[in-house]
Structure 1
């Protein structure tokens, strides 16, 4: 066994970083046995050095992350700062100084993953990021390595615990959106500003990373269609229950039937109660992968939090340390297919549309004609009227998103349609 320790620079020491440091200290002997060499926390870069950090030697604390990376004896850097800068510059600096990187930074990887992979490859180093998607759930490495010989056609999953908690509470208790959000905030599942979660930005970043791995092509955050879930209402859940469905915020990544393009999207959707994702409760994550040879695979577990995310970081650390000892690197970016990302208008799925209409003869025929004129076939219709007003709920057969958008625009122009109350896709059938 090698006696000189592998030295680790920890960039960031918040909830995740402090848990990484704790595990490295308390499990030092186990990590040594698993890696084949001692691993040593050699420095911790922070913004506020005066903050008390239990279990961390104050002598390791520094505010100069760049100097820590350039001091010449660091083997691996763990980046848990988050955001774009200074994380991007620090990771690039690490590569320039012969340091492999473990990162949990989904936003940076979704935006600049290709450039970071290129920098790692140019220097013969590793870039691992299991913790960037779905917390403790082993997902990135199984898709990148275990399924490397297979062809993945579809990935559908719940990749944000905050939104799943909110939607689960709305479904199980009948709470409104704001009430469920307030509970999520009180329990620490939602940030004071929950925009990144509830508007789908967090899930979209993870979707971009997963799509790139699944389809061996470069997918950036800007390529991912995104809708938030703030408009989901109790009425939507009531309609979903009548259909034997529930509502989840889903990341859906698909390879086109002809194999010549891919799509990546994040939005609320109704899914049948019989689907495995429908039973994912509270703040848990789950991802459903469909591959040609392996068939359907389900990955499930806690998707966020200090300990789960730290578990994923430490798993990557062990793998990168082993690579260092073997003087090798793990798999890098695989983007050989260079498939284009099709626009949302090309996506084909089913839809649930709720309309507020005048309660008078001929309205249903007029609405049905509008759907037909835009090539969207109706599966079911439910109408309920009261005091001159009516609600009309239409569920379609599969149709292109562009055709549905054209239909909705035409419906808004009808005198008999007072408003389009909600539009929701129906997935997982």
Structure 2
């Protein structure tokens, strides 16, 4: 496709007022912005989003000195414009209400009813802008006995069952519940919010009306238990921590090698037979204890030690080369520096660099969505606090501020 065939990003023309902070809401705002929306982030003057202070590390300038921008903030605020407005004041509240009248979407993650006292809740704003899609993200939702509680990713990973299936099994070294290494519940909630917003915008094309989206971190975490929830609900089995093992597939886990570890992800009997051939034990695939996945599950405790004895005899590179040639899914366990040095990651362009006012440039992770006709556009780096206040007030409200 030539450059002349490329269309503007799909959400071009959509205005989003982002009152959220930390990760779940900002993640949704960044994704909408990557897809072309004009996302205006409202921040408290002098402080801004909480994550602006979540350092070190901080973004470094060309001389290697720290700027004031925490790297945490950078991960979720690309392509946005920042306006500094104090919503605790009547003047600030009036400005936000005026911006909301011009918006298609509003994102917020205040506590339930937290914006009502400012006249910035959905019921108040829809009177002036009935087409507004208003997305509220909270820990526990707008209803229920926990609605008033504050909710954080770590807390929800525990309450929502994720930590009960993450970590080493009881009785093994290092046993105990373990959170995931990134705030995964926040990220998943941001993704669900993005989907919900786009669905509401599509519905608005039919009805002409916006609506309120009620998203809870706890709801999202439980929805994302996937097969583990189904194992309990339909199978009657309460899942437990299994370390790197899989509850339904064997062998599907990490195995030690002569110089490290690899992941072996055997998804069917044919792949297992090919692995056995590469391992020099073709008899394993015909052994009635291991010939089918159901049998391998039943005899996991017998099979896994046999596999470990085999995998430690060769290096990780040797195993990966041999198994890839045989069509057996496998791979290394990379540190993050190795991730960004991987040739596949480089070929896919997953690290991008944007110009930055303080640092000269800022490295970021690319959006993974690949649209052939209306691709993601990287228009702006994560903004400085209040960087676009005058610009946005002029464009959205026609208000000229004195420099």
- TM > 0.5: no
Q: Greater RCO between the two (CA within 8 Å, min separation 6)?
A: 2
- The two structures have a TM-score, normalised by structure 1, of 0.28
- The two structures have a TM-score, normalised by structure 2, of 0.29
Greater share of strand: 1
